[in-house]
Amino acid sequence: MAHPTQLGFQDAASPVMEELLHFHDHALMIVFLISTLVLYIIIAMVSTKLTNKYILDSQEIEIVWTILPAVILVLIALPSLRILYLMDEINDPHLTIKAMGHQWYWSYEYTDYENLGFDSYMVPTQDLATGQFRLLETDHRMVVPMESPVRVLVSAEDVLHSWAVPSLGVKMDAVPGRLNQTAFIASRPGVFYGQCSEICGANHSFMPIVVEAVPLEHFENWSSLMLEDA
């Protein structure tokens, strides 16, 4: 959960998000080093009247400042491609959930069960209980078992939406007439918040996403209760 004045990302709740955080730190350190070097050269050029003729015309320096940026780009591209393929990897999911975007709410269908599905609307501000978050809480949470691969099939019924939960490292566009898929593993129990990340109309800001990760035993109890109510 993000908090006021936060500068970094939310705490990672999935292995993919941990990899993304590590890659962010890796790329940021490279940017800091380049920025420091460029700033030093600018200050040196402005503050000194001396001129070095070997810098003005030197094939060795030109070779270095051509090859070095290429090496740096490779050091950034290789881990980036690795994470990109990891995010597309879906191996033997234990649970499949279909998330449908509507104007302006989400509906979830647990396709491994015969009749388990519900709509998820934002809780109005006047109905919030103590401790609940304004514009982020829903009347029905998407409950998933922790430490289990979960596949999410994402689509929309009317306009473009986007199903995104930052702490799980998940963001997938919901396109009418198209079925996209993504996957995640919740590495710890908790409640993780997200929002529609594609401008979809007047109430775009009012269709939050709440994923609750629980131990497998609790998930089985919850699904049994939901099936009885259905």
**How does pLDDT run across 136-160, given as a tens digit for each residue?**
999 999 999 999 999 999 999 999 9
- Give the span between the Cα atoms of 1 and 9, in whole angstroms: 9
Dihedral, 75, 79, 80, 86 alpha carbons, nearest 10: 170
Which DSSP letter does residue 212 get?
E
If 0-12 CB within 10 Å is exposed, 13-18 middle and 19+ buried, where does residue 103 land? middle
Which residue(s) pair with 155 in the sheet? 100
Most distant CA atoms of the chain, gap in Å: 84
Q: Considering the chain, what is the average pLDDT of its residues?
A: 92
The residue ranges of every structural domain in the chain are 15-88, 95-229
Residue environment code for 31-49, b if the CB has 16+ CB neighbours within 10 A, otherwise e: eeeeeeeeeeeeeeeeeee
Q: Write out pLDDT tens, residues 186-224.
A: 999 999 999 999 999 899 999 999 999 999 999 999 999
**pLDDT of 230 higher than 70:** no
Considering the domain 15-88, what is its CATH architecture?
Answer: Orthogonal Bundle (1.10)
pLDDT, one tens digit per residue, over 57-94 is: 778 888 888 999 999 999 999 999 999 999 988 888 99
| DSSP 8-state assignment for residue 135 | T
Class assignment of domain 95-229?
A: mainly beta
Per-residue pLDDT band for 173 (boundaries 50, 70, 90) equals very high
